[in-house]
Each structure stands twice: as structure tokens, then as C-alpha cells.
Amino acid sequence: MTKISREDQKASLSFSLEIFPPRTDSGNKVLLQQLPLLETIKPRTICVTSGAGGSNKGRTLKTIKALDGAASANPTAHLTCSGSSKEETHNSLDQYASENIFNIVALRGDPSEKMINTSDVDEYENAAEFVSGIRSRRDGHKFHISVAAYPEIHPKARSKEADVANLKAKIDHGADLILTQFFFEPDIFFRFMDDIEKVGIEAPIAPGIMVISNFERICNFASKCGASIPEWMTERFFGLAPGSDQANVIAEEIALDQCSALADQGIRKFHFYTLNRIDLTAPICQSLMNTYSSAQNMDSSQP
């Protein structure tokens, strides 16, 4: 297992929380009502997702603007390049730059259903090219670029070796931070750390933690992204209604146990997939802070 340095173990905890743009006014209201919880955990950034083919980039920016003033954490915008021409992608970057938003999660993504044939589009072929395209801009040095990684291998990857090589290309082209897909067994993450260490990847990495607000929904997500669901987890949620008090308690307990196992080995950056349940995520972060660091030492200067 990769040995975490003593310097990493002494670092302060830092959290990034991923949310999606609400589709309705009521969903937006519920999200905004939860934002005061962020001030107790001081996340380093709030990541706002974008849909397939960049289909809801407008709602991404709208949500980021709604966060302004309501949350002190710096925003990060997801941006996909698949299904969009290079010009369209850079137009989006221009718009974010004009709003002083320079934290980007650069993703290849999948084309939306309306973009079935994209063979004639001059687009970035993969996320590594996309990262290189951002860095080649006149303002490219201003961007903090996060990229995705898959501890259990991307479902479309030819092999584990090819998947790790793809990640290395993203870093070599200028990415700053690795955010992993969610997983549920800590050993999966540590084996992944060993794999990327062997090829010389040294960029900071934040393991992706899924807060299981709806077990059936998470199983559906997992089947699409190649994440495994442990049998013990299926047994714990068996017969429980999504969103019930008992299910929520188990969801928080599982995430906290997972993060604690990672923190015990020196991991200090965490990326939470909240599914807009900040109310479930904040207590997990607070418990980790109480155990591994103090709020005064939290670092919110970098995404």
C-alpha cells in the first residue's frame, strides 16, 4: 500500500462538495436553505455539475451565481467537452473567466441524446486534450483544473493500464488535482494509489465519497460508472425507505467510517458527492474535523 507521508498526515482536512443545478424552483429553495450548514465545515470549494454534452451549462452558471453571497466557499464549475466544438468549449471558458470563475473540473463527458452524431464536430477528443487546450489559452495559467479518475477503472477503458495512462496524460498536460469516482471499500482506493504511484503520478488526489441518500439510485449510478456495491451495504439498506431516518443514519455512518479509514492512513482531502443533501454531508465533515483537525486550521484557499 502507498505510504502517505508524515507531512500529508499533519495537513489540515479539506472538503469539496459536489452539487447539481436544481431543476425546479422548489429544489433551488431547498438547496439554498441548506447553505448555512457550509459555514460550520468551511469547504475548500463547491463544485457545480454540468449535464451530458454541456446540456445545462446555463444552469451551472446560474447555480454558481446563486451561491455567491450565500456561501463563502469558492465555486468550481464542471465543464465537459464532448459534443461541443472547441470554439463552443472556449466560449464557455470565456464566460466563466468573465465571471472570475477559474476553478474548473475538466471532463470529456458524454454527448447528450440530441448529439448522437458528433463526428463532424471539431471537439477535444479526450480530457487530456481538453486540459492542454485550457493551458494553451492566454489566461490558461489562471485556471485551477481538476480531473476525474476511476479507482475501479472507467467502464469504457481498454484496461486498467490504459486507464491509468489516460490519467497520467491529464496530469502531464497540466491538471492540478485528481477527483476520484466514488467507491465504498478503502482498500480499492489504496490499490489505486499504488497503481498511479508506479507510473509517477504525484498530483494531489481527493477520494470521492458518495453520501447514500437513496440506495436504489446509487446502485443505478454505480452500474453506469463501474463502481462496485459491497454485499454488506445491500444488506444494511434492505427494506429501508429512501430518505427515512434509519436510512439516513446508516448513510452517514457508512461515509464517516469510510472517511475515517482513509484519514487514518493520512488522507486529508475529500470530495463529497452530496446529491444536494448538504444536510447529510455536513455532519460527516464536522465529525471528521472533530477527530482529525480543528476548524481554525481548515484551508479553503484552493479547490
User: 175 to each of 32, 126, 229, how far by Cα in Å?
Assistant: 31, 13, 29
Catalytic residue among 18, 123, 152, 252: 18
Spatial separation of the C-alpha atoms in residues 67 and 51, rounded to whole Å = 19
CA nearest 189: which of 266, 116, 126? 266
Cell readout for 257 is 467510517
SS (H, E, C) the chain: CCCCCHHHHHCCCEEEEEECCCCCHHHHHHHHHHHHHHHHCCCCEEEECCCHHHCCHHHHHHHHHHHECCECCEEEEEEECCCCCHHHHHHHHHHHHHCCCCEEEEECCCCCCCCCCCCCCCCCCCHHHHHHHHHCCCCHHHCEEEEEECCCCCCCCCCHHHHHHHHHHHHHCCCCEEEEEECCCHHHHHHHHHHHHHCCCCCCEEEEEECCCCHHHHHHHHHHHCCCCCHHHHHHHCCCCCCCHHHHHHHHHHHHHHHHHHHCCCCCEEEEECCCCHHHHHHHHHHHHHHHCCHHHCCCCCC
18 a catalytic residue = yes
Nearest-10 Cα torsion for 239, 244, 245, 249: 60
- Catalytically active residues are 18
